[in-house]
Amino acid sequence: MTLPPETLNGIESRLQAVDSELARLYPGDRPGQPIHTAYVSGADASVDTPREWGSAALELAEKQRELLVALAGEDVVARVFETLRERPIQDLRFDFEDGYGTRGDEIEDAAALNAGAVLKALPAEVRSRGIRTKGLTTLEWARAIRTLEKVLEGAGGVPEGFVFTVPKIRHLEQADLTVRVCEAIEAAHGLPAGSLRFELQIESPQAIIAADGSSPVSQLIQRSAGRCTGLHYGTYDYSAALGIAPKFQSLEHPVADHAKAVMQAAAATTGVWVCDGSTQVLPIGTDEEVRAAVSRHFRLVTRSLERGYYQGWDMGAGHLVTRWLATFAFFREGLGVAAPRIGRYLDRQGGAVMDEPATAQALATVVLRGLECGAFDPADVTAIAPKATVDVLHQLRERKIPAL
């Protein structure tokens, strides 16, 4: 017995439509995510910021080298020192919202023009760069748009790797309006269509659960017309909105875990990156306070990485030390687990764990993230799994059968 052809054809047609829709909505993960976003007030925008932060971070690392070695080992610490000297900041955002405040239009115009010129002149080691505007709210929307235009004017166009962050997202209409603003600015200033990209800062409970009980985050992504590159968690605004006492507001509070898990599920395989929030505790003060802050940030970054949040905010140069330290330590440890399994998978060998293509994809993705951030080199991978070249790892990530 078989089903009639018209029934089979109908099923096939509907499944093809489903596959096409899923491919459109979920095109896959996007490589190249930076490990952090460094936030600097728009009033302090300078082309020297990466060098100055790197120098300050090196000074702290030297003073706390013994502690750093205890946390992650000498090999990791040596790699961190090299990174802080050569490329301390991967992603830089000049802040015109909370970190800038209200200073009057003339002053902010001048700061925005300067920030634009700086963004264009930043060294290539800063792979992505941009600004955080004020929010698209009744009181601030005009200033937000004006600042964005002034930054682009100062840069003479859209700088390489440019993105702007939109804070205070609470409603789906704000995503629609952000797209409209991008289109209008591109048309008015003769910029290439689609050249403006943005991140949405999730710092309000209404972005996680709407009044009708739905979760708007996924719709925010889909209504961004392919321009949304990231979801950034706002630690303190979100916690405060839920009535969490200041003493207990942190990246590891249960409300933070819930919000980020929703963001993570909404962004999965859309190509939109999820970025963890910040900690307000900086490594300054007495030696005991500095050591406590260093250990705390190392633990928080490691915790985020373990939960699949590969990017987070850094609010000061001191955070760079433990950001790179925890990130390198995490991926180097991950290499020791992933590379042997990839090697067995490529050799079709058995073992205590039998991996499937989806698992091989996940293993390859972890190794490639480690390579991309500089935690180790390709030779470190092939020393464990000789067939796991960078090209083969990319094929595994794309769930292709490697050409060995």
Q: What is the identity of the amino acid at 370?
A: G
Average pLDDT over residues 79-106: 97
CB 345 within 8 A of CB 387: no
Q: How confident is residue 21, by pLDDT bands cut at 50, 70 and 90?
A: very high
Residue 369 counted as domain residue: yes
Name the phi and psi angles at 98, rounded to 5: -60, -35
What is the Cα gyration radius of the chain? 23
In this structure, the answer to whether residues 320 and 342 fall within a common structural domain is no
In this structure, the answer to whether residues 204 and 259 fall within a common structural domain is yes
Q: Which residues of 187-210 are buried (b: 16+ CB within 10 A; e: fewer)?
A: eeeeeeeeebbbbbbbbbeebbeb
Residue 252 counted as domain residue: yes
SS3 291: helix
Helix (H) or strand (E) holding 94: strand 91-95
In this structure, the answer to whether residues 191 and 338 fall within a common structural domain is no
Residue 38, C-beta contacts closer than 8 angstroms, at least 6 positions apart = 49, 53, 89, 91, 92, 93, 313, 314, 320
**276 DSSP 8-state letter:** B
In this structure, the answer to whether residues 272 and 257 fall within a common structural domain is yes
In this structure, the answer to whether residues 324 and 340 fall within a common structural domain is no
User: Shortest CA distance to 326 belongs to which of 279, 286, 284?
Assistant: 279
In this structure, the answer to whether residues 355 and 227 fall within a common structural domain is no
Whether 324 has a pLDDT exceeding 70, the answer reads yes
Last residue of a domain, one of 275, 310, 330: 330
In this structure, the answer to whether residues 296 and 360 fall within a common structural domain is no
Whether 228 has a pLDDT exceeding 90, the answer reads yes
Q: How confident is residue 399, by pLDDT bands cut at 50, 70 and 90?
A: confident
In this structure, the answer to whether residues 353 and 218 fall within a common structural domain is no
In this structure, the answer to whether residues 362 and 294 fall within a common structural domain is no
* Structure confidence by residue, pLDDT tens digits, 165-176: 999 999 999 999
Residue 24 counted as domain residue: no
Residue 135, C-beta contacts closer than 8 angstroms, at least 6 positions apart = 97, 141, 144, 166, 167, 168, 169
CB 131 within 8 A of CB 115: yes
Whether 394 has a pLDDT exceeding 70, the answer reads yes
Residue in the structure block whose two tokens are 């030390």 = 321
Whether 213 has a pLDDT exceeding 60, the answer reads yes
* Structure confidence by residue, pLDDT tens digits, 98-115: 999 999 999 999 999 999
In this structure, the answer to whether residues 382 and 294 fall within a common structural domain is no
In this structure, the answer to whether residues 218 and 317 fall within a common structural domain is yes
Residue 25 counted as domain residue: no
Structural domain including 390 reads 334-398
CB 134 within 8 A of CB 102: no
pLDDT computed for residue 351 by the predictor: 59
pLDDT computed for residue 348 by the predictor: 81
In this structure, the answer to whether residues 389 and 306 fall within a common structural domain is no
Total tally of structural domains belonging to the chain: 2
Whether 360 has a pLDDT exceeding 70, the answer reads yes
pLDDT computed for residue 259 by the predictor: 98
Separation CA 142–CA 159 (nearest Å): 22
CB 40 within 8 A of CB 49: yes
User: Shortest CA distance to 58 belongs to which of 38, 76, 78, 81?
Assistant: 81
Name the phi and psi angles at 266, rounded to 5: -65, -35
* Structure confidence by residue, pLDDT tens digits, 287-322: 999 999 999 999 999 999 999 999 999 999 999 999
Question: 237-246, 249-258, 286-295, 394-403: lowest mean pLDDT where?
Answer: 394-403
**CATH number, residue 184:** 3.20.20.60
pLDDT computed for residue 78 by the predictor: 98
* Structure confidence by residue, pLDDT tens digits, 255-278: 999 999 999 999 999 999 999 999
pLDDT computed for residue 402 by the predictor: 79
The structure's pTM equals 0.94
